[in-house]
Amino acid sequence: MSTGSPRVLPADGDLAEAAAVLRTGGLVAFPTETVYGLGANALDARAAARIFEAKQRPSFDPLITHLADAADLEALVGPVPPAVAALADRFWPGPLTLIVDRPDAIPPIVTSGLDTMAVRVPDNEYARRLIAAAGVPLAAPSANRFGQLSPTRAEHVVRGLGAAVEVVLDGGPTRCGIESTIVDARGERPVVLRLGALPVEEVEKITGPVTVRLGNSGQPVAPGTLAAHYAPRTPLRLLAAGEPPAGGGPRRGYLAFRDRPAQGWAVVEVLSASGDLTEAAAQLFEALHRLDVAGVSEIVAEPVPDTGVGRAVNDRLRRAAATWQPAG
């Protein structure tokens, strides 16, 4: 366990210090439009190794490389297949991660030994300015300890990682609130490896029909898709669609989509009172972080409508609930 605190700097201030930390092999957490990332120089194997250490992340779980600009992709990896280029053109900067061949410049530790690499251009001004100021691509997973809730605020990063990270850039709450969608568009029919902030329907408008293949166990394709992941410390039980929110109590919290349940719960979090799925996604980890520090002994969550970005929200809830066991 690391003690002490990182330096928290405003993301809209001078980024020279953060860029210098990155260039000398250190770790900087920074905001993206999805969640906060824990960044290191992606060209430096030793810097990348520090990410795995800080997150207590298994070395089989590869990192995403972040670029400042879509134009930097070909410079790093050379020509890419047409569908990959088309998706990058349409959605970058944005919450879409693409799979490409790993270039020699990226050390194998970044990709956990895979000969493919995940890459994206985040749609956050501070993130892109930081990458440009560092002058190197940044390997960055979500800035949380492995398996825990993803951070959507600088405070979450400080609470979760402490002094394991040198600098945290505070850019306020993140806009999307859940991670990027991961797509492997190198083959004939694109494969979605992780549901995320960009709805599958949007990807299909560019590529035609895709296959959704989410790993669950064994050798995961995208280990962020491990069955138990994104979990609060408090046990979380996920209701079936349409199941009534029965069984409140003084020590139980409830996560609702749009309607507050009848009284009887210690704490209630509503993801979107207007029933908006984009807002629900943005609030998901926020609400789970709040429920997790509310001192309840169980969180009961209801699924959201399983369409658009709602599919990614339900995916996170299922994984958060994967280790839940009935009490007694």
Q: Is 97 in the site for ligand TXA (CB under 6 A)?
A: yes
Query: In this complex, which beta carbon is closest to Mg ion, that of residue 41 or of residue 142?
Result: 142
Reading the block at residue 102, the tokens are 């790993």
Q: Which amino acid is at 44?
A: D
* Helices (H), ranges, 170-227: 200-207
Stretch that binds ligand TXA, among 82-90, 219-227, 248-256, 320-328 (CB under 6 A): 219-227
Q: Is 64 in the site for ligand TXA (CB under 6 A)?
A: yes
Q: Is 314 in the site for Mg ion (CB under 5 A)?
A: no
3-state secondary structure (DSSP) of residue 119:
strand
Query: In this complex, which beta carbon is closest to ligand TXA, that of residue 62 or of residue 303?
Result: 62
State in angstroms the smallest separation of the CB of 209 from ligand TXA: 20
Q: Specify whether the CB–CB gap between 122 and 70 falls below 8 A.
A: no
State in angstroms the smallest separation of the CB of 168 from Mg ion: 17
State in angstroms the smallest separation of the CB of 235 from ligand TXA: 22
Helix or strand (DSSP H, E) at 241: none
State in angstroms the smallest separation of the CB of 151 from Mg ion: 9
The residue among 289, 290, 264, 279 whose CA lies nearest residue 313 is 279
127: buried, middle or exposed (CB in 10 Å: 19+, 13-18, 0-12)? Answer: buried
Strand partners, 300: 237, 254
**How many residues of this chain interact with ligand TXA, rule: CB under 6 A?**
30
Q: Is 96 in the site for ligand TXA (CB under 6 A)?
A: no
DSSP string, 3-46: -S-PEEEETTS--HHHHHHHHTT--EEE--SSS-EEEEETT-HH
| Residue list 277-306, contact with ligand TXA (CB under 6 A) | none
Tell me how far apart the alpha carbons of residues 239 and 317 are, in angstroms, rounded to a whole number.
10
Q: Binding residue for ligand TXA (CB under 6 A) from 18, 117, 291, 321?
A: 117
State in angstroms the smallest separation of the CB of 219 from ligand TXA: 11
Tell me how far apart the alpha carbons of residues 38 and 168 are, in angstroms, rounded to a whole number.
9
76: buried, middle or exposed (CB in 10 Å: 19+, 13-18, 0-12)? Answer: middle
Interior angle at CA 213, CA 87 and CA 106, nearest 5: 55
Q: Is 225 in the site for Mg ion (CB under 5 A)?
A: no
Tell me how far apart the alpha carbons of residues 221 and 251 are, in angstroms, rounded to a whole number.
38
Choosing among Mg ion, ligand TXA, none, which partner's interface includes residue 319 (Cβ < 5 to 8 Å by kind)? none
Q: Which amino acid is at 297?
A: S
Site string for Mg ion, 136-175 (x = CB under 5 A): ------x---------------------------------
| Residue list 175-204, contact with ligand TXA (CB under 6 A) | 179-180, 182, 193-194
Q: Which strands form 249-256's sheet, in the order they lie side by side?
A: 236-238, 298-301, 249-256, 265-270
State in angstroms the smallest separation of the CB of 149 from ligand TXA: 11
Give the CB-nearest residue to ligand TXA.
224
Stretch that binds ligand TXA, among 1-9, 117-125, 130-138, 251-259 (CB under 6 A): 117-125
Residues that bind ligand TXA (CB under 6 A): 32, 34-35, 37, 61-64, 95, 97, 99, 111, 114, 116-118, 122, 140-142, 179-180, 182, 193-194, 221-225
